[in-house]
Amino acid sequence: MSPTITRRQLLAGIAGTVGLAGTAGAAAWAGGAFDPSLVAPNGDLVARTEAARRRAGAATVTASLNPRPITLDLGGPTVRTWGYADSAPGPLIRAKAGDLLRVDVENSLPATTSVHWHGIALRNDMDGVPGLTQQPIPVGGRYRYEFTAPDPGTYFYHPHSGVQLDRALYGVLVVDDPEEAGAYDAEWIVVLDDWVDGSGRTPEDVLASLQSMGGHGDMTGTDHGDMGGMSGMPMQDMEMMTSPLIGGAGDVDYPHYLVNGRIPASPVTLSGKPGQRVRIRIVNAASDTAFRLALGGHRLTVTHSDGFPVAPTPTDALLLGMGERVDVSVDLTDGVFPLVAAAEGKPGQGLALVRTAAGEPPAATVRPTELDRQVLITTTLRAAESVALASRRPERVHRLVLGGTMMPYQWTINGATFDQAEPLLVERGERVRLTFENSTAMFHPMHVHGHTFAVTGGGARKDTVIVAPKQIVAVDLNADNPGQWMTHCHNIYHAETGMMVNLAYQA
């Protein structure tokens, strides 16, 4: 444990935020002015689109965030890191659909930052992408985010600056549906994370080690852990670190996996009563880890994916990629039960306790049998009828071939890293199809800003979708939110080293 941030780590942190901010600016904000052939984030069209979203009598929900260096107790190990509060996750922000959110950010980090509202179809200039939709918030600077949140659901917020997400800089944003009956007795929020900061390496150190050493260079699909974490591990164990369900296992071997900020040795307790029906909002805020989640002794019914309702689907366990959210409904029985989030394809797990009665808690290493029974993958979910995207032939089709190499450590879309990528052009009013073709041996949770697409063929409405190795996943969206929208892998190390492109509305 390193209780203090060394000067070297501090400098790495500052340097680590420059790449993403600088390169995006080069493309769209060329010569200090926005490319006139594209819709400007701060232009009239974006303002008019927002005005059309505003509802008479909508409430204004205010919040403030102060990203800063903190000391965080993970439930035993105490780490120095960066957070939005003295806890992970950061403050819960809660609004009703149609409300105006006003969030004041004061940057007390030793690095520039930004706040992105993951999954929200908001006004483009509030999307929080430095160099594309705003200037980075300088050290000591302030920024006010103000936007209408149009759609109910489970969302989260995090920086869009370097690999800052891999610290404690994340929080949940719940947008309630004033129309919804709420067929449950209680609600829990469960946030999953992979943790490295303060254990001797910062996320910027991890990125630097990936970039300087690479993995093994053949992209065979077996795990290519970063050398810091993998050193001393025999090759056969490395080969075993893959997920047969989604392929690969991330690039980083984390010392800890957290549920609501806690390691399994001192888990949080979620309390209820036997017979109650609970809605659990689950967010995967990890940077490099998909989780397989199950609740011992219970079945889960998935009701929402990435905020939007799905045809209710029962399962024993489910897989959640980075950036994905699900809401599940559970009928509680009598006892103490492990809610386990196993790091998919990696050793280790996160744990929370579900308690409806007195009794001994299970061991930190407990592995409920449900984890290895029926495992739901969110691409198989069906959209609820109320949110199904009307079928329509796409006027615009973009093919996105996902590629990468471990030496050098670099991830691409259509062969280009972000700084070299041509924007993917769309026009307002079009039905757009994005076809993700994964040519690598790793899974990639692909995320589109500002829109909720539909997985083609009646699949769920989502904003983040896992594309397994050699798999093709097509998604359709209505181009109804003009602006410049990042489209990227939500593995933060893949995004930061190039797997990102701008979905650009033409003026």
Q: How many Cβ atoms sit within 10 Å of the Cβ of residue 68?
A: 16
Per rule CB under 6 A, is residue 488 in the interface with ligand C2O?
yes
Per rule CB under 5 A, is residue 486 in the interface with Cu ion?
no
Q: How many Cβ atoms sit within 10 Å of the Cβ of residue 236?
A: 7
Query: Which range binds ligand C2O by CB under 6 A, 5-13, 253-261, 429-437, 484-492?
Result: 484-492
Tell me how far apart the alpha carbons of residues 13 and 167 are, in angstroms, rounded to a whole number.
11
Kindly give the pairing relationship between strand 431-438 and strand 396-406.
parallel
Torsion of CA 279, 284, 285, 287, to 10 degrees: 180
The entry of ligand C2O, Cu ion, none near residue 451 (CB within 5 to 8 angstroms by kind) is none
x/- mask, ligand C2O, residues 414-453, rule CB under 6 A, reads ---------------------------------x-x----
Closest to 132 measured CA to CA, from 412, 485, 507, 419? 485
Tokens of 146: 């103000």
Query: Which range binds Cu ion by CB under 5 A, 148-156, 279-287, 383-391, 485-493?
Result: 485-493
Tell me how far apart the alpha carbons of residues 228 and 72 are, in angstroms, rounded to a whole number.
23
Q: How far apart are CB 252 and Cu ion at their closest, in Å?
A: 12
Query: Which range binds ligand C2O by CB under 6 A, 32-40, 74-82, 395-403, 486-494?
Result: 486-494
Per rule CB under 6 A, is residue 278 in the interface with ligand C2O?
no
Per rule CB under 5 A, is residue 433 in the interface with Cu ion?
no
Closest to 220 measured CA to CA, from 242, 253, 246? 242
Tell me how far apart the alpha carbons of residues 92 and 173 are, in angstroms, rounded to a whole number.
6
x/- mask, ligand C2O, residues 150-189, rule CB under 6 A, reads --------x-x-----------------------------
Q: Which of 28, 90, 118, 493 binds ligand C2O (CB under 6 A)?
A: 118
Q: How far apart are CB 168 and ligand C2O at their closest, in Å?
A: 15
Tokens of 475: 């998604």
Strand partners, 292: 319, 342
Which residues touch 236 (CB under 8 Å, ≥6 apart)?
Answer: none
The entry of Cu ion, ligand C2O, none near residue 488 (CB within 5 to 8 angstroms by kind) is ligand C2O
Q: How far apart are CB 249 and Cu ion at their closest, in Å?
A: 12
Which residues touch 281 (CB under 8 Å, ≥6 apart)?
Answer: 154, 172, 174, 187, 188, 189, 190, 325, 327
Tell me how far apart the alpha carbons of residues 406 and 222 are, in angstroms, rounded to a whole number.
12
Tell me how far apart the alpha carbons of residues 413 and 500 are, in angstroms, rounded to a whole number.
7
Strand partners, 151: none
Q: Which of 352, 402, 486, 499 binds ligand C2O (CB under 6 A)?
A: 486
Residue nearest to ligand C2O (CB): 118
Q: Which of 203, 261, 321, 323 binds ligand C2O (CB under 6 A)?
A: 323
The entry of Cu ion, ligand C2O, none near residue 279 (CB within 5 to 8 angstroms by kind) is none
Select 303 or 412, whichever has its Cβ closest to Cu ion: 412
Per rule CB under 6 A, is residue 116 in the interface with ligand C2O?
yes
The entry of Cu ion, ligand C2O, none near residue 323 (CB within 5 to 8 angstroms by kind) is ligand C2O
Tell me how far apart the alpha carbons of residues 277 and 331 are, in angstroms, rounded to a whole number.
4
Per rule CB under 5 A, is residue 491 in the interface with Cu ion?
yes
Count, residues near ligand C2O per rule CB under 6 A: 10
CB 336 within 8 A of CB 359: yes
> Could you list the residues that contact Cu ion (CB under 5 A)?
444, 489, 491, 494
> Could you list the residues that contact ligand C2O (CB under 6 A)?
116, 118, 158, 160, 323, 447, 449, 486, 488, 490
